[in-house]
Amino acid sequence: MPRASVGDSPDSAPLTAGLWEQAEFTAPLTGPIVDGVSPPSETGPWTTRAKFAWDPGHLYMLVESVGPRPSSPFTRHDELLHQADAIELFLDVTGNRRRIVEVQVNPGNVTADYLHVWDRKPTYPAHRIDADFYRAHHRADLAWDVRGLRTRSVLAPAGDGLTRWTVLMAVPLSEILAADGLTTPLRPGQTLYVNVMRYAYTGEDNRRTLRHYNLVPVRQGCPHQSPMATMELTAVE
């Protein structure tokens, strides 16, 4: 499982450049698992990377995606943002694969958030999705909200006709930690588990093609069925 250490930031830090000065980018997100065994390595036509930081009450994430200009027709909270360009964070605060928080942001800074709940821990690997197990033991609560969530979405020219899309998130952790029986606030040495997705579309109307990119690869089209695919983030001072 990939691992990273995440440096702390001023409490309730704003989503500004100073928050990320001590943070390093992850390796570029890769395509999904397509052959059932080996994760692919291609990134084009988008190159997408992430940074993380924390304070006792929040997990912060910055995602930078450079490529063709993203777009989305969705303008209301909790619409089906994944049907157009979107950035997604998956967060498991315990690593037990039973409660997964998902936050989505589109280019217009519209958000959607879900709580994925499993009544049994899935035991299949990310490249061998058991659809019957998933249907029997998983539910997603779209009405659930991350209270106090803050996001920003910024589009800027990146040269050569490309666009730099930057998404920033501040995810309040107190209620999420408490719901999993953990004490608050977040402490140095504590480990969180995350995955990051970039939903990217090319073409128009019925000829659109979806490509999704992953911090930790999952099988094509199955990010919500893969709670075992996470990177460990350990909070350090």
Mean of the pLDDT values across residues 75-103? 96
The two tokens of residue 152 are 């920003």
Whether pLDDT at 57 is above 50: yes
Distance of alpha carbon 154 from the chain centroid: 17
3-class DSSP state for residue 232? Answer: strand
**Residue 17 Cα distances to 50, 52, 56, 149, 180, angstroms:** 14, 12, 19, 18, 32
For 93-120, the pLDDT digits (tens) are: 999 999 999 999 999 999 999 999 999 9
Choice between 146 and 17, residue whose per-residue pLDDT is larger:
146
Helix/strand/coil percent split, the chain, to 5: 10, 40, 45
CB-based contact 220:231 (threshold 8 Å): no
pLDDT(28) > 60: yes
CB 173 within 8 A of CB 93: yes
Q: For 228-233, what is the mean pLDDT?
A: 94
pLDDT score for 44: 74
Higher pLDDT, 157 or 15: 157
Predicted local confidence at residue 1, as pLDDT = 44
Report whether pLDDT(235) > 50: yes
The string of pLDDT tens digits covering residues 164-183 is 999 999 999 999 999 999 99
What integer best gives the mean pLDDT of the chain? 89
Answer for the pair 236, 96: CB distance below 8 angstroms, yes or no: no
**Contact of 212 with 201, CB cutoff 8 Å:** no
- Residue 15 pLDDT exceeds 70: no
Residues 120-154 pLDDT 10s: 999 899 888 999 999 999 999 999 999 999 999 99
Q: Token match 């589009």: residue?
A: 155
Residue 179: per-residue pLDDT: 94
SS3 call for 152: strand
pLDDT at 4 over 70: no
Model confidence, pTM: 0.92
Indicate whether 3 pLDDT > 60: no
Interval 179-219: pLDDT, tens: 999 999 999 999 999 999 999 988 777 778 888 899 999 98
- Compute the average pLDDT of residues 43-67: 91
| Structural domains of the chain ordered from first start | 24-33+42-221 (2.60.40.1190)
